[in-house]
Amino acid sequence: MPTRTYKKLLEGNEQFVAEALASDPDFFGRLEHAQKPKVLWIGCSDSRVPANQITNTLPGEIFVHRNVANVVVHSDMNCLSVLEYAVGVLNVQHVIVCGHYNCGGVLAAMSNDYHGAIDNWLRHIKDVYRLHADELDAIEDPHERGRRFVEFNVIEQVYNVCKTSTIQKAWQDGPLPHVHGWVYDLG
């Protein structure tokens, strides 16, 4: 990382700390002892879709898991561990799967181009396309087809969250957490 970029990150952190302490001197004291988020956010790794900034929330308010194209796969122990911890330990009330229009992962899955190792991950998204191919292939405008594919991907990932043993067990015990699908529009 070039020195200027790295220095900008450190200066940004110093500014964040100073502003947080100026408005709430005990801000970090509360964060130090425990987190009590009400929401688990499963979102895309895309740097344009940071959960806290686009929801105007502070550190400690959202528990976050991110990966390319906000995919929930039943063999992804990272995602499943985050879900289990959020539901079983933090007792979140909401799980949000948030995709976004113009998602590079979703758009890459629409093509047959070679992308390297990520093609293995994109296979999960290509399966979503296969499930909805009739509707998607009927959309002539590639931009609109991509937007609809993003929506279908969010729907399928919400469904995948709901099928996990973690959520099924939680629902046996009560109505929480609520599971939501969001699509963020960058434009």
Provide the CATH number for the domain formed by 35-184 in this structure.
Answer: 3.40.1050.10
100 catalytic? Reply is yes
Catalytic residue among 66, 103, 124, 147: 103
**Cα–Cα distance, 149 to 135 (Å, whole number):** 10
> In the structure encoding, which two tokens stand for residue 145, read together?
């087809």
Greatest extent of the chain over all pairs of C-alpha atoms, in Å: 57
Catalytic residue among 66, 100, 145, 147: 100
The answer to whether 76 and 50 have CB atoms below 8 angstroms apart is no
48 catalytic? Reply is yes
Tokens 């699509």: give the residue. 183
pLDDT of residue 134: 98
Catalytic residue among 30, 48, 123, 143: 48
pLDDT of residue 170: 98
Please report, in angstroms and rounded to a whole number, the separation of the first and last CA atoms in the chain.
Answer: 29
The answer to whether 81 and 88 have CB atoms below 8 angstroms apart is no
Q: Tens digit of pLDDT per residue, the chain (187 long)?
A: 568 898 999 999 999 999 988 999 998 988 888 899 999 999 999 999 999 999 999 999 999 999 999 999 999 999 999 999 999 999 999 999 999 999 999 999 999 999 999 999 999 999 999 999 999 999 999 999 999 999 999 999 999 999 999 999 999 999 999 999 999 999 8
What are the φ/ψ torsions at residue 179 (nearest 5 degrees)? Answer: -115, 130
Long-range contacts of 170-176 (CB under 8 A, 24+ apart): 170/87, 170/88, 176/91, 176/93
| Range(s) of the chain covered by CATH 3.40.1050.10 | 35-184
**Cα–Cα distance, 62 to 35 (Å, whole number):** 9
pLDDT of residue 34: 86
